[in-house]
Amino acid sequence: TLSDGTWSITATESHPTSGASTASAALSVSIDASAPAAPGVPDLATSSDTGTSSTDNNTNDNTPTLSATGGSSGDTITLSATNGTNTVTCSYVVGSATNCTLPTLGDGTWTITSSVTDPAGNTSNNPTSLSIGIDTNAVGGLAVDLAASSDTGSSSTDNNTSDATPAFSLTGQATGDVVVITASRPGATDVTCTYTVGVASSCTLGTLTDGAWSVVANVTDASGNTGNTSALSMTIATSASAPGAPDLLNASDTGASATDNLTSDSTPSVSGGVLPAGTSVTVSARKSDGTTVSCTYVASASVSSCDLPSLSDGEWSVSTVITDPAGNVSPASSALLLSIDASAPTAGTPDLVASSDTGASATDNLTSDTTPSLSGGALPAGTSVTVSARKADGTTVSCTYVASASVSSCDLPSLSDGEWSVSTVITDPAGNVSPASSALSLTINKSLLDAALNTQSDVSSGELPQDIARLDQTPLNFGSGWITATAHLKKNEVGRASHVVFMVRNADGTTARTVRMRVPSAARRLSARLPRLDEGQRIVTFVENNFGLSPSAPKRRNVVQGATGRGRDAAGNPILFGESLLVDRIIFDATSPLLDARDRAQLDRLARELRGRAGLLLISGFARQNLIDGSKFLKNLSIERARNVANYLSSQGVRAWIRFDGYGAITTEPGTANDRRVEIRWSSAGREAFIQK
């Protein structure tokens, strides 16, 4: 055994005969049987130590470069990476290289050891090791979140805020991950903030201007893998403007008008107007005595108002304050003045208007006026009065009016002779309904002498009335509820017009409702309360006096059935009223009430003469006795003939009153074709002429 060191080796040859040779040249041999010193701890090259730190030995480089200190020139340093049963190595020669690169490593934790092998083949031990982490997986599952403390307003999750320096965070990230938050919007400079997980849990952006911002986050984990979140939309709003004046909902604005803010609803519904979803609205009502109540709602597609608590009768000042979705609180709105009246009015006292109380007394409620005017008494403007008349047999009729400076009564529909019980029900402007009044006993007797009827101012006018000057309608919109239609008479019609008629016409030309109102002698305007119009409906008005209708009256409105004669002469012929017109008698075909072309031509000529004339046209129909048809059939046939002539003249523009009647066959003997006729007569005295006294 040679000890470590340098040895000189020579050789000699011995021969049995020749003896030993001289020594050979010496061979220098170095003996080194000692293991070299162990290298230092392995070190991951900075270029391979990716991620947030270059010294934490966590990397996404799966072919990392490593080195170890120690060894002498010519020594070989071997680095080994072990993960479970898997081991891979790389080597480099000191003096020729300073590191080596491992083959591909799988994700996970690897133990790195190093050893030195000297040129003599002695290998050191490897008492120390380095642990490195390999992670090549991209960062995922990211969602940037506005901190609840920064998400002001009615919701802490809607990303609407008044915080102009909001804080953001990401959940589910590992300690050491670096998070960069970036907010951007068109035309603005990007604003960013950064934090490291484990050191902080969020970061706060610099000041953002009002408006919509797009916020994203970028994350870099400890191994250097990166990931981006999807964009979060966020709205910054740092102030709220004062809202408009609050509005009382139509459903709560009871009474004659849905826009007067006078109501009997003591828990009214009030709206703050059209507002973005999520806006919180506080409605406050204050009375002059200091009483204050309020309600609150959050605006949405289905919620736009709240109901105030019970309000006492009187005047209230109502205002709103809004808190927008970002949490900004507005100044108070301008005030809505609201009047509460929840008390039922006192029952009215029905009274027969003096002009309708005909006869010897104007106060005995005995009259020949079959469409009498009834008043509910002195009432505030805007009060709606319904007058109802009931007979012992159960027959009931009614009329309605809205009290105003010019309207204090309405005309009941035609009443038959007898006793009627008349009562009124009052609806005040706030919509409160009174109990029925005590009853007025009214007696109708149309055979009474009615001197007043023939002495009205319009009887002597002798002219057709003119259409109204203007029609006002309040409110103008369509829907449920009521409207007030006001007709303004022309100046020269004041004291001359007897009635104004309001007609609601449908889009197809049919009539939905008619209200006929007597005009007080000095009235300039007249109002009618009507159900609010449906889509396509319109109001038509015209004026009546004793001599006819105004031009806008629909055809046939001036045609009435009534007596055109009184009694019969000695020959059995009816004694007809009026003066005979110079027109050929209209002759009909047998058993026919229809007009032929010749008849219409004669009537057209007559209509041209009568257009614009004021008075009373009297149409009398007759039938031919044929000993076959009964008297009732012939009577009806003659009436239909007279009616058809009357209607045709009205359709051709005649606006004087037209009264018609039929007399059937006036003889028991078979007649001639001349008996199938109508006779046309005229009176300039007007519609009240020839009334049976």
Phi, psi of 79 (to 5 degrees): -110, 130
Task: Give the pLDDT score at 9.
Answer: 87
> Span 272-283, mean pLDDT?
93
Do residues 462 and 545 share a domain? yes
Give me the mean pLDDT over the 447-455 stretch: 38
277 & 370 share domain: no
State residue 359's pLDDT score: 58
User: Once rounded to an integer, what is the mean pLDDT over residues 570-590?
Assistant: 80
pLDDT tens, residue by residue, 309-367: 999 999 999 999 999 888 889 999 999 999 999 998 988 899 998 878 775 566 788 88
- Other residues' Cβ atoms within 10 Å of the Cβ of residue 387: 27
User: Rounded mean pLDDT of 478-482?
Assistant: 70
563 and 672: one domain? Answer: yes
Nearest Cα to Cα of residue 661 among 546, 602, 576:
576
Average of pLDDT values for 589-598? Answer: 86
Any domain includes 209: yes
The pLDDT of residue 540: 94
Within a domain: residue 622?
yes
Is the pLDDT score of 297 beyond 90?
yes
Instruction: Give residue 582's pLDDT band: very low, low, confident or very high (50, 70, 90).
Output: low
Q: What is the pLDDT of residues 624-636, one digit of tens each?
A: 888 888 889 899 9
The pLDDT, as a whole number, for residue 10 is 83
**Among candidate residues 549, 581, 607, the one where a domain is terminated:** 549
Asked if residue 638 belongs to a domain, the reply is yes
Domain that holds residue 334: 247-340
Q: Which of 46-60, 134-148, 381-395 is predicted most confidently?
A: 381-395
Would you say residue 676 has pLDDT above 90? no
Q: What is the mean pLDDT of residues 434-449?
A: 82
Q: Which residues contact 577 (CB under 8 A, 6 or more apart)?
A: 563, 564, 565, 566, 618, 681, 683, 689, 690
In terms of phi and psi (left: phi > 0; alpha: psi -120 to 50; beta: otherwise), the region of 666 is alpha
Q: Please indicate, yes or no, whether residues 262 and 325 belong to a single structural domain of this protein.
A: yes
- Does residue 689 lie in a domain region? no
> Is residue 241 in a domain?
no
Q: Which residues of 438-461 are buried (b: 16+ CB within 10 A; e: fewer)?
A: eebebbbebebebebbeebebbeb
Do residues 599 and 631 both lie within one domain?
Answer: yes
For residue 452, what pLDDT is reported? 32
CB-CB contact of 647 with 555 (8 Å): yes
Q: Which residues of 603-617 are buried (b: 16+ CB within 10 A; e: fewer)?
A: beebbeebeebbbbb
- CA–CA distances in Å: residue 621 to residues 583, 590, 592, 638, 659: 15, 13, 12, 5, 11
Of 455, 480, 502, which residue constitutes the final position of a domain?
A: 455
In a domain, 655, yes or no: yes
Residues 86 and 154 in one domain: no
For residue 599, the 8-state DSSP code is: H
State the pLDDT confidence band at 189, using cuts at 50, 70 and 90. very high
Closest listed residue to residue 676, CA positions, set 584, 590, 598, 554: 590
- Are 507 and 602 contained in the same domain? no
Whether residue 460 has pLDDT greater than 50:
no
Residues 451 and 468 in one domain: no
What's the CATH code of the domain at 59? 2.60.40
Pick from 607, 676, 593: nearest CA to 648 = 607
554: DSSP letter: P
pLDDT at residue 531, as a whole number: 87
Closest residue by Cα to residue 623 from 660, 673, 577, 579: 673
Between residues 453 and 477, the one the model is more confident about: 477
Q: What is the CATH number of the domain that holds 639?
A: 3.30.1330.60
Bigger pLDDT: 454 or 364? 364
The answer to whether the CB of 33 falls within 8 A of the CB of 122 is: yes
Least confident window among 50-54, 275-279, 604-608: 50-54
Q: What is the mean pLDDT of residues 129-151?
A: 85
Q: Do 434 and 447 reside in the same domain of the chain?
A: yes
- Give the residue with greater pLDDT, 221 vs 585: 221
Task: Give the mean pLDDT of 440-465.
Answer: 59
Within this chain, do residues 615 and 507 fall inside the same structural domain, yes or no? no
Q: What is the pLDDT of residue 454?
A: 36
Kindly state whether residues 101 and 153 are assigned to the same domain: no
pTM, to two decimals: 0.43
Strands 247-248 and 100-101, bridge-based pairing: unpaired
483 three-state secondary structure:
strand
pLDDT of residue 456: 35
Among 152-156, 166-170, 273-277, the minimum mean pLDDT is found in 152-156
Give the model's pLDDT for residue 398: 95
- Look at the block and give the residue holding tokens 């032929």: 596
pLDDT at 8: 86
How confident is the prediction for the chain on average, in pLDDT?
A: 88
For 296-320, what is the mean pLDDT? 95
What is the mean pLDDT of the segment spanning 601-624? 90
Q: What integer pLDDT is reported at residue 451 of this predicted model?
A: 35
Q: How far apart are the first and last CA of the chain?
A: 172
Supply angle C-alpha 647, 650, 654, rounded to 5.
Answer: 150
Asked if residue 233 has pLDDT above 90, the reply is yes
Three-class secondary structure assignment of 394-429:
CCEEEEEEECCCCCCCEECCCCCCEEEEEEEEEECC
Domain final position from 206, 236, 266:
236
Nearest to residue 51, comparing CAs of 120, 139, 115? 139
Could you tell me how many residues make up the chain?
693
Domains in the chain, number: 6
The three-point CA angle 655-659-664 to 5° equals 145
pLDDT confidence bin for 458, thresholds 50/70/90: very low
CATH number at residue 268: 2.60.40.10
What is the share, in percent, of the chain residues with pLDDT greater than 70? 95
User: What pLDDT does 225 receive?
Assistant: 86
In a domain, 68, yes or no: yes
d(CA 400, CA 466): 25
Are the beta carbons of 153 and 125 closer than 8 angstroms?
A: no
Instruction: Give 51 or 162, the one with higher predicted confidence.
Output: 162
pLDDT > 90 in the chain, percent: 52
pLDDT band at 587 (very low <50, low <70, confident <90, very high): confident
Average the pLDDT over 53-61 and give the result. Answer: 87
* Residue 433 DSSP symbol: B
462 and 449 in a common domain: no
Nearest by Cα to 485 from 530, 429, 533: 530
Residue 28 falls within a domain, yes or no?
no
pLDDT tops 70 at residue 141: no
